A and B are shown apart, each in its own frame.
Chain A
Amino acid sequence: MINSLLWTPLVFGFIGLLLPRRYAGWWATLGTAVTLGLAISMVIGFNSGAGLQDTVDVNWIPGLGVDYSLGVDGLNVFLILLTTVLWVAGTAFAAFREQERPHLFFLMMLLGETATLGSFLAQDLLLFVLFFDLMLVPFYFLFGAWGTAPEEGKTAVAATLKMIVYTLIGSLLMLVAAIATAIISAQDGGHLTFSIAELAKHPIGEGSQRWIFWFFAAAFLVKMPAFLLHGWMPDAYRAAPLPALAVFSGVLAKVGAYGFLRVVLPLFPAATVEFQEVILVIALASILYGSVMAFTQTNVRLIAGYSSVAQLGFITAGIFALSADGSDGAVLQMVNHGLVVAPLFVIVAILAERSGSEDLREMGGMAMKAPVLAALFLIVTLATLAMPGSANFVGEFYILNGLFDSKIVFAFVAISGVAMSAYYALRLYQRTMHNRKPAGLESREINLRDGIVLAPLVLCILGLALYPQLILKRTDDAVQARVSAVEEQPQPVTSLAKR
């Protein structure tokens, strides 16, 4: 079951190479749809009290202590669902449009899905690192080969290379750190294993935890991206083809946040407590910087991109509140943000097709002739700014609640991010949909094919708004387990802000 979920996309991708070009896109969409079906049946069969389930555990490289072990628990079950949902949308959106070299494009899309699912499912530290790195390969091709020049004098290839180098800096250090974790743990007696559950039973010494923590944090913070490590983001976001960017921004950024919950908290509890405030400062800086940049940019992709920086800052803050509420909210918010940002990029693509530009200054007044598009966009916008009633509101509420409980000073700063998100989200909506229509802009209603892609995503947002407990109820147990490992740690004496 879990194996077929993981490998279905890739198998479909390879079979797709044999089909005629015009069917490649639909075949790939079918593949993602089948994967979605598998994911849904997995969620239905999910037992929230049972901990890790559906496990697969095979000795993969006994000589090196690496296992092929996968499993589902409350932490990843909805991220997997999110991945499969967004991939159907992204692939279908791409299939509706003419692609150059469609075989390769869709193979890479599907390889990307398998790699992403793998990094969510992996229960072996090294397998996680492997899939984490593997995610880069398809997106390197997608961004580089199908991308557009981000600006005059820059090429998509250069922008992509920058992204790869940035992200791999973290990933390779993470590889060293992962191996070091296993070996140090084995030195205290016991055999060499990379199993996350096994390693979590006996955390390594505090001295080693310190540097290993930062190697992992580097990988995850670059991926999100967090403030100061986001240098690759503006160019890569402007270069990327939009269907790929929708899934990239919607899911891959979350793998970083997920990594903190899956790996860092249980394996390095002492270092987590020690560096809690440093990470919180980075998270808050991301919120502030991302928000400020989002309301000064005029490129619609960058507005969405910087808003992601801010949102992921929130998620990180929630995780490093180191309380159950904060982490619950973080998981919920990961799903929420994925569901919001992917349609946002789809809308960006639709807007760009109509105005021939991605500049906010050349858009406006589109709502007049396109009420349905405007309505869908409005729902996405309101979710982005965490309107009460939306699941994003619940997520942010949980995060802030957790943060208030542990670090009240940080919570006050984080609240300003909520206010700022309203500004940039509404600014984006108003400038594109209202205002005066510039000359030469063709305002058209959303067509059926884009509607088919967009409407289900918006329905997911609405559904989750009505019933966020769907996620909260199932993640709570898993999150509790993660946080409890940290809570047993003694608090450092030099605490900046304590209750």
Chain B
Amino acid sequence: MNFNAPHIDYAALSPVLALTVGLCVVLLSGVFKPLKRAAPGLTLITLATTAGLLIWRWDNPQDLVSGALRLDDLAISISLIAILTAGFAVLLSIREPATEEAGSGEYHALLIGSVLGMVLLAQAQNLVTFFVAIETLSIPLYILCATNLRREKSLESGLKYLIVGSLGSATLLYGMAFVYGGSGSTDFAGIAHGIAQKGVLGDPLILVGIGMTAVGLAFKTSIAPFHQWTPDVYEGAPSPITGFMAVATKAAAFAVFIRFFDVALAPQIDDWQPALAVLAAISILVGNVGALGQDSLKRLLGYSGVAQAGYILGGLVVASEDGVNAIVFYLAAYAFMNLAAFAVVIARERETIFGDHIDSVRGLGAERPQLAWPLTISMLGLAGLPATAGFIGKLYLIEALVEGDYTWLAVFIAVGTMISLAYYLRVVAAMWMRPGGEPAATPAIAGASPEADPIDPDAGRRLYLVGPALLAAAATIFFGVIPQPLVEFAQHAGASLF
């Protein structure tokens, strides 16, 4: 009998393997008492190892598992963004009530599990891996959202995310089934081939399938009008998880979004391009207008995330190399800007009785400049003001859009940015400027009670909170002044596709 074992490229699979091993180790560490405190450290080691392995595979694209995965520079860059975000989340989770309540080992193992899903999703090359990966990243997040067991809001957030997320997944899966039915293949390349004869509009099966796939992805990337869950879930989830979710999920989902539309469906671009452009415009509008009246910083960042997803979708619409570069650049910049903001929100959440209410940062400029600066830089960056990575990111996106003949969408981004100033600058004003009115007399924060969230009056000085905040803010400025390294990083990602 002749048995040929399939060739397994362990080198290229090593990042995935490292994460899997790390996940098991961290999970078990929770069981052994002496190792209980080691979970964050072990998680960081796992993430660092994975990042190292990914960088080792840089510029060396490979098809894996008989074409089910592809480790190219797009996958690596997106994975690195996800890992970076996860690393920040680990630091920000130190002393977070949620980690204690859910068990440190379990909490961190779930976090690694979600990262594993993202790393896989960024490499997905067919519908099966696509779906498996997106569930691998989502299910741990459903649980993580609810880990703050004593807060009603957290449980609500987990449940809401589970239900809406499942709806999204179901839509996605249903759409995939249609796509498979219409094209006769689960492979992205096979789908492209199967569609080529009839076109997207020629076959109702394909049209419905692709439409539903897009909707499913829009759920995951919180693109309006499929964003309704975002503010509620962001508000209720433990803040480090919110920060992680806002950036990493978006990044990973955009990676597969790019692969499916910009590569597999590229020949049919005329059929789907206008629809996605309209979606981007709606998202920009809804997100920015929705954020205007928000008093909760996490809700504000949630709506701002909806708007930012709209900007990023713009880069996808044009389906060009520059578009993909712009997406990767923007995602990296967005990671830094958002993490700086979340680090500060978390510090203030633990330090004051105001929770994540905007009152918690009132007068921060005088009280805690080491927190006020990162939040200021983050807000100015998200608003796209110069000398921040956010400005260069917008510049990059607009350049890609104008080049792709979507100048109207570029103008839309400009208009959206204008609206966004009203709420980003409101936060800055609360920190630095004379209060416009009296601060709220009672901390009317639903779900927050002193028993559930013990106040740590020194949280604003803790290195594991201030450090990440300053680091992310410094990176925002650095890549705003010297963007070339990040531009080259993004260009690698784009070049690996086109």
Beyond A63-B488, A176-B414, A179-B410, is A158–B392 a contact (Cβ under 8 Å)? no
Q: Confirm or deny: A155 has a beta carbon within 8 angstroms of a beta carbon on chain B.
A: yes
Q: Mark B405-435, 1 if CB is under 8 A from A, else 0.
A: 0010011011101100110011011001110
Question: In the bound complex, what is the Cα–Cα distance between A176 and B408 (angstroms)?
Answer: 10
B residues near A137, Cβ cutoff 8 Å:
380, 385-387
Which of A63, A136, A140, A160 neighbours the largest number of chain B CB atoms within 10 Å of its CB?
A: A63
Beyond A61-B484, A64-B399, A183-B399, is A130–B433 a contact (Cβ under 8 Å)? no
A residues near B398, Cβ cutoff 8 Å:
175-176, 179
Return the contact of B402 from the options A133, A160, A173, A176 (Cβ within 8 A): A176
* Cross-chain contact A172 with B417 (CB below 8 angstroms): yes
* Cross-chain contact A157 with B433 (CB below 8 angstroms): yes
Interface size class of A (residues with CB under 8 A): 35 or more
Q: How far is the CB of B105 from chain A (nearest CB, A)?
A: 43
Beyond A134-B387, A161-B425, A179-B410, is A64–B434 a contact (Cβ under 8 Å)? no
A160-216 interface (Cβ within 8 A of B)? 160-161, 164-165, 168-169, 172-173, 175-176, 179-180, 183
* Cross-chain contact A180 with B402 (CB below 8 angstroms): yes
B residues near A157, Cβ cutoff 8 Å:
429, 433-434, 436
* Cross-chain contact A168 with B434 (CB below 8 angstroms): no
Total residue contacts A-B, CB cutoff 8 A:
102
Q: How far is the CB of A62 from chain B (nearest CB, A)?
A: 7
Q: Mark B469-498, 1 if CB is under 8 A from A, else 0.
A: 000000000000001100110110000000
B residues near A126, Cβ cutoff 8 Å:
395
B residues near A165, Cβ cutoff 8 Å:
418, 421-422
Which of B386, B399, B413, B428 neighbours the largest number of chain A CB atoms within 10 Å of its CB?
A: B386
Q: Confirm or deny: A379 has a beta carbon within 8 angstroms of a beta carbon on chain B.
A: no
Q: How far is the CB of B381 from chain A (nearest CB, A)?
A: 11
Q: Confirm or deny: B365 has a beta carbon within 8 angstroms of a beta carbon on chain A.
A: yes
For B491, the closest partner residue in chain A by CB is A63
* Cross-chain contact B422 with A161 (CB below 8 angstroms): yes
A residues near B428, Cβ cutoff 8 Å:
140
* Cross-chain contact B366 with A179 (CB below 8 angstroms): no
Question: In the bound complex, what is the Cα–Cα distance between A458 and B490 (angstroms)?
Answer: 54
Beyond A145-B432, A157-B434, A176-B407, is A140–B425 a contact (Cβ under 8 Å)? yes
Question: In the bound complex, what is the Cα–Cα distance between A131 and B481 (angstroms)?
Answer: 12
* Cross-chain contact A164 with B487 (CB below 8 angstroms): no
Q: Confirm or deny: B234 has a beta carbon within 8 angstroms of a beta carbon on chain A.
A: no
Question: In the bound complex, what is the Cα–Cα distance between A168 and B418 (angstroms)?
Answer: 7
* Cross-chain contact A179 with B365 (CB below 8 angstroms): no
Beyond A156-B433, A161-B429, A164-B425, is A134–B386 a contact (Cβ under 8 Å)? yes
The B interface, classified by DSSP as helix, strand, loop or mixed, is: helix
For B412, the closest partner residue in chain A by CB is A176
Question: In the bound complex, what is the Cα–Cα distance between A61 and B484 (angstroms)?
Answer: 5
* Cross-chain contact A155 with B422 (CB below 8 angstroms): no
Q: Confirm or deny: B391 has a beta carbon within 8 angstroms of a beta carbon on chain A.
A: yes
Q: How far is the CB of B79 from chain A (nearest CB, A)?
A: 22
* Cross-chain contact A145 with B407 (CB below 8 angstroms): no
* Cross-chain contact A145 with B395 (CB below 8 angstroms): no
Q: Confirm or deny: A22 has a beta carbon within 8 angstroms of a beta carbon on chain B.
A: no
Beyond A144-B429, A144-B433, A157-B436, is A133–B386 a contact (Cβ under 8 Å)? yes
Question: In the bound complex, what is the Cα–Cα distance between A475 and B421 (angstroms)?
Answer: 38
* Cross-chain contact A61 with B392 (CB below 8 angstroms): yes
A387-435 interface (Cβ within 8 A of B)? none
* Cross-chain contact B414 with A63 (CB below 8 angstroms): no
* Cross-chain contact B407 with A180 (CB below 8 angstroms): yes
B residues near A183, Cβ cutoff 8 Å:
399, 402-403
* Cross-chain contact A141 with B414 (CB below 8 angstroms): no
A99-147 interface (Cβ within 8 A of B)? 101, 104, 126, 130-131, 133-134, 136-137, 140-141, 144-145
Beyond A165-B418, A165-B422, A179-B410, is A145–B402 a contact (Cβ under 8 Å)? no
Q: Which positions in A face B, CB cutoff 8 Å?
A: 60-64, 66, 101, 104, 126, 130-131, 133-134, 136-137, 140-141, 144-145, 155-158, 160-161, 164-165, 168-169, 172-173, 175-176, 179-180, 183
12 A–B pairs (Cβ distance < 8 Å), ordered by A: A63-B325, A63-B488, A66-B395, A134-B385, A145-B432, A156-B433, A164-B421, A165-B421, A168-B417, A173-B411, A176-B398, A179-B402
For the complex with contacts A63-B487, A66-B395, 14 further pairs of A-B residues with Cβ separation under 8 Å are A60-B484, A63-B484, A63-B491, A64-B396, A104-B365, A104-B432, A130-B387, A130-B391, A137-B387, A155-B436, A157-B433, A168-B417, A173-B414, A176-B402
